[in-house]
Chain A
Amino acid sequence: MHVGERGAVITGIGQSDVGRRLFRNPLDLTLDACLDAIADAGLTRDDIDGIATYPGAMDQPPGFSGAGVNDVQDALRLNLNWFAGSMESPGQLGSVINACLAVAAGLANHVLCFRTVWEGSAQGTGGRAGIGVGSNVKVNSGKLPRIGGFMQWTIPYGAASAANWIAMMASRHFHEFGTTREQLAWIALNARRNAEVNPKGVYRDPMSLDDYMNVRMITWPFCLYDCDVPADGSTALIVSRADASGLRKQPLQVEAVGSAIHGRPSWDQWDDLTTMALRDAAAQMWTRTDLKPADVDVAELYDGFSFITLAWLEALGFCGKGEGGPFIDGGERIARDGLIPLNTHGGQLSSGRLHGYGFIHEACAQLWGETGERQVVRPGGRQPEVAVAAAGGGPLGGCLLLTRR
């Protein structure tokens, strides 16, 4: 099999300040992350000839997109040979997969990939209350507001958030496999104990199973701690040609990517609601490498909602289909010193909804041994050599397998 993505390496990572609400200009955050990543690779902005981002410039929902391709190109006065920014991709990391293909195809030498969110500031002190429309709209116009597109099928019933849509998938998993909230809790508890030792963690106070079981419910079976925390921050990385030279660090190899979706691209018409599009992305990734799930030292798996991480664990083969609940129960297997260290930076649940890019940033940092107190050391004192970074839930899903050369 021709594995074209192996023509790509990751040569640098960067990140802005991260916080619950920073009240800073999102392009300012973006440039902090981008310049950090360029410097980390040992490059200058003159070396950057490609940009990839998710979701591209968008005005709504509030804070969802902090900058688009054009914003960054213009701010840094870059001359580009290739660029792409779009939501219609295999999840948030589909943008990084795009970058891998661009350098492998020879269209660019060094692609700057970034994702910026400022949902914490943009949503304001009212919290993650909803979509900004309500009964006040009717008072003003005398008619109920109208919605088109996919949301027309959900929002009349108050299913306004992906929290609702994913919760229904979790309920199906509970029904078919006997999964419980006490088991699901360990995604959140594991994230918190990792955020405790991450200086950039958003929530770092210890959390107990009692805390989890007693906090307010959002949309059963999800409580507050099953939902990621809106935050502000920008994350960037540099994807370069595998034969790139003049770099500051040993590049990380892109061993394989997963971008497949073989069912209907829908939150409710998907064939098997105990899993998601990530099922197909994960399966495809393993067809493109000789490595196996047992070879993975660190797993950084999207946790927009806790159940998505459980679904990724199953799909990637760290446990069997339907066995995710017992697998994570007690948290030992997914701890930093466990069978498969998971979301070692605290995930989006405790370290902020950086929307996919936080996971690949952490995967790279772990492989480069740059994560300080939370650094994973494998049995025998070995540094992590293989990491998987995965992002997306529902009809979104994409993943990358990275190795130290």
Chain B
Amino acid sequence: MTDTDKPFRLLPRLTDTNDYFWTGGEHGELRFLRCQDCGTWIHPWSPRCPSCLSKNTAPEAVSGNATVHGFTINYQPWIPGLDPPYVIAIVEFPEQLGLRLTTGIVGCEPDDVYVGLPVRVVFDNYEDVWLPFFEPVA
């Protein structure tokens, strides 16, 4: 697929506090910041672990498995070039209760999505950004 065939997307502005997240897909990894002292996963980035206040944090990859925690099928054309319908979901990761992402669900019909659906990360590359989407686990 060439870039021009893909739906238009507004992209995150990369900074030194989010690039590990948005570029991890280049290496097939979904990365969150993690406290190296107490193990807490931290999202979004913060200078200290919110659990133990340690500054000893580093990006680490999660498994990429998740569960649909809530979702919506969007029908409104908010963004010219990004045509509805499409599914937006909040997915939760097994690594930590409450560790979540807002994302898109791909690889299935919108009506096939439900709360509790097991999904797995797939990356879609735009310029220097690898957007993590999620598709149902086969």
* Pairing of A with B: yes
Distance of A216 Cα from B85 Cα, bound (Å): 12
Interface pair B72/A171, CB less than 8 Å apart: yes
Taking CB atoms and an 8 Å cut-off, the chain A residues in 92-118 that contact chain B are: none
Stretch at the interface among A25-33, A67-75, A149-157: A149-157
Known A157-B102, A218-B76; contact A147-B12, beta-carbon cutoff 8 A: yes
Whether the Cβ atoms of A160 and B78 lie closer than 8 Å is: yes
Task: Please state if B15 and A219 are interface contacts (CB–CB under 8 Å).
Answer: no
Which chain B residues border A273 with CB–CB below 8 Å? 69-70, 90
Say if the beta carbon of A276 comes within 8 Å of chain B: no
A282 at the interface (CB under 8 A from B): no
- Contact partner of B131 (CB less than 8 A), chosen from A136, A156, A169, is A156
Q: Does any Cβ of A come within 8 Å of B77's Cβ?
A: yes
A271 within 8 A of B: yes
Would you give the shortest CB distance from A319 to chain B, in whole angstroms? 21
A158 touches B88 (CB 8 A): yes
Q: Which residues of A contact B44 (CB under 8 A)?
A: 153
**Contact A159-B88, Cβ < 8 Å, known A135-B81, A167-B72, A268-B101:** yes
**B interface bracket (residues with beta carbon within 8 Å of A):** 35 or more
**How many residue pairs, one in A and one in B, have C-beta atoms under 8 Å apart?**
141
Write out, one digit per residue, whether chain B residues 72-86 have a CB within 8 A of any chain A CB (1) or not (0): 111111111110101
- Residue of A133, A138, A146, A163 near B76 (CB, 8 A) is A163
Contact string against A for B residues 99-130, beta-carbon threshold 8 Å, 1 for contact and 0 otherwise = 01111100000000011100000000011010
Which residues of B approach A to under 8 Å, CB–CB?
8-15, 18, 43-44, 69-82, 84, 86, 88-90, 98, 100-104, 114-116, 126-127, 129, 131, 133
Check A164/B72 contact, CB under 8 A, given A136-B80, A157-B88, A171-B115: yes
- A157 CA to B79 CA, complexed, in Å: 10
Closest CB-CB distance, A162 to chain B, in whole Å?
Answer: 11
In the complex where A144-B9, A152-B13, A168-B90 touch, is A220 in contact with B126 (Cβ < 8 A)?
A: no
CB contacts (< 8 Å) of A152 on chain B: these are 12-13, 18
In the assembled complex, the Cα of A79 lies from the Cα of B76 at a distance in Å of 46
A148 touches B15 (CB 8 A): yes
> Nearest A residue to B12 by beta-carbon distance?
A152
